[in-house]
């Protein structure tokens, strides 16, 4: 079970929290190979990590094979993660519009060159993250075109480029890919918002090696442990009920566990990023408290908090 890469979200603190609450592997935010090629310092800062996040994978995006080759070397030598991932799935305008991310999927030769450039310039395992398809290029065709290259894992977002972030997710595609390349690790990704969701998918598609979870971990980083049945913080139940009938949920009990994890998260981000971290934690805080009675009031206070002490006081 992997914490899938999310720009602006999967920073070191969030990865540490997700690892602590059950993620088997964490991915960095995507890092630009051109930035690493021309001016590496800021991007190296973006992908540095704490050893408690291991196994940790750095994800690269871009379109220039030379920049991918240089970046694979730099990341391997300077960051020393456990793997390097290549982004073939991002549909965001500023990535796709520059010919990177999902725009690479239909470019058969270039996609091969990029994967080869990374594999040849690192001793680490290499993985790719793709979508179910884009226009006429299906995920199957993409894998057929690249299967002989020595990458070892694939995360398949079961939505097409056209399906963006809310279209239908097809996990049968992920399983069919596993049948095509049984020697590679295949993770299914997309739309897994509760542990029940995850368990059903794993039951229905038993060939999958695992799942990548992105937005399902927002405000519920313990979703990974819930899938294993280790923890029951309870907000899964609340979200299943769309948190409308809060009277039927013993929220005091659930909130005390949620609060403990919120504080852990806030302390980690503060330690890592100082005051900037306190701005960045605001969105996480809002996700954590969603659905609890009094959330709107608390949200107003939390987004104004200027110190760790203030956050602690508000939560208490």
Ligand X SMILES: Cc1cc2nc3c(=O)[nH]c(=O)nc-3n(C[C@H](O)[C@H](O)[C@H](O)COP(=O)(O)O)c2cc1C
Query: Which residues contribute to the site for ligand X (CB under 6 A)?
Result: 4-9, 29-30, 59, 87, 89-90, 129, 157, 165, 189-192, 213-216
CB of 217: closest distance to ligand X in angstroms? 8
Residue tagged 């049945």 (tokens)? 229
Cα 192 to the center of its chain, rounded Å: 12
Indicate if the alpha-carbon torsion angle 197, 200, 202, 207 is positive or negative: negative
Q: Under DSSP, is residue 106 helix (H, G, I), strand (E, B) or coil?
A: coil
CB of 14: closest distance to ligand X in angstroms? 12
Which of 133/216 has CB closer to ligand X? 216
Report the DSSP pairing between strands 2-3 and 133-134. Answer: unpaired
Burial 243-271 (b: 16+ CB within 10 A, else e): beebeebebeebbeebbebbebbbbbbbe
Q: Which tokens belong to 102?
A: 């999902």
Q: Which of 199, 207, 200, 193 is nearest to 227 (CA)?
A: 199
Which of 23/90 has CB closer to ligand X? 90
Which of 174/261 has CB closer to ligand X? 174
Judge contact between 75 and 122, C-beta under 8 A: yes
CB of 297: closest distance to ligand X in angstroms? 26
What is d(CA 8, CA 275) in angstroms, rounded to the nearest whole number? 16
Which of 215/301 has CB closer to ligand X? 215
CB of 205: closest distance to ligand X in angstroms? 15
Judge contact between 280 and 305, C-beta under 8 A: no
CB of 233: closest distance to ligand X in angstroms? 19
CB of 234: closest distance to ligand X in angstroms? 21
Judge contact between 67 and 33, C-beta under 8 A: yes
What is d(CA 82, CA 255) in angstroms, rounded to the nearest whole number? 35
Which of 255/277 has CB closer to ligand X? 277
Longest dimension (CA), the chain: 58
CB of 224: closest distance to ligand X in angstroms? 12
Which of 140/287 has CB closer to ligand X? 287
CB of 9: closest distance to ligand X in angstroms? 5
Residue tagged 């690192």 (tokens)? 122
DSSP string, 195-236: HHHHHHHHHH-TT--EEEESGGGTT-TTHHHHHHTS---SHH
Torsion from C-alpha of 32, 19, 184, 133, nearest 10 degrees = -50
Q: Which of 145, 135, 92, 80 is nearest to 115 (CA)?
A: 145
Which of 157/184 has CB closer to ligand X? 157
């Amino acid at each position: 079970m992997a914490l899938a890469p999310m720009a602006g979200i999967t920073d070191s603190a969030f990865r540490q929290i997700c690892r602590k609450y059950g993620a088997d592997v964490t991915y960095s935010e995507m890092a630009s190979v051109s930035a690493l090629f021309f001016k590496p310092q800021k991007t190296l800062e973006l992908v540095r990590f704490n050893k408690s996040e291991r196994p940790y994978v750095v994800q690269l995006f871009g379109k220039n094979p030379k920049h991918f080759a240089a970046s694979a070397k730099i990341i391997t030598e300077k960051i020393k993660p456990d793997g390097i991932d290549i982004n073939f799935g991002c549909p965001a305008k500023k990535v796709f519009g520059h010919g990177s991310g999902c725009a690479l999927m239909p470019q058969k030769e270039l996609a091969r060159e990029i994967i080869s450039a990374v594999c040849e310039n690192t001793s680490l395992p290499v993985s790719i993250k793709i979508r179910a398809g884009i226009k006429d290029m299906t995920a199957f065709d993409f894998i057929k075109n690249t299967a002989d290259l020595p990458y070892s894992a694939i995360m398949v977002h079961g939505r097409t480029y056209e399906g963006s972030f809310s279209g239908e997710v097809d996990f049968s595609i992920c399983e069919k890919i596993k049948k095509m390349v049984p020697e590679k690790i295949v993770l299914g990704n997309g739309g897994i918002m509760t542990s029940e969701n995850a368990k059903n998918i794993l039951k229905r598609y038993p060939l999958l090696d695992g799942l990548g979870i992105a937005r399902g971990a927002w405000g519920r980083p313990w979703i990974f442990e819930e899938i294993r049945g280790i923890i029951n913080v309870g907000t899964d139940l609340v979200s299943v009920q769309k948190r409308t009938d809060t009277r039927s949920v013993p929220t005091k009990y659930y909130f005390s566990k949620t609060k403990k994890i919120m504080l852990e998260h806030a302390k980690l981000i503060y330690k890592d990023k100082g005051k900037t971290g306190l701005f960045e934690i605001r969105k996480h805080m809002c996700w954590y408290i969603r659905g609890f009675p009094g959330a709107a009031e608390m949200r107003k206070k939390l987004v104004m908090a200027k110190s760790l002490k203030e956050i602690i006081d508000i939560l208490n």
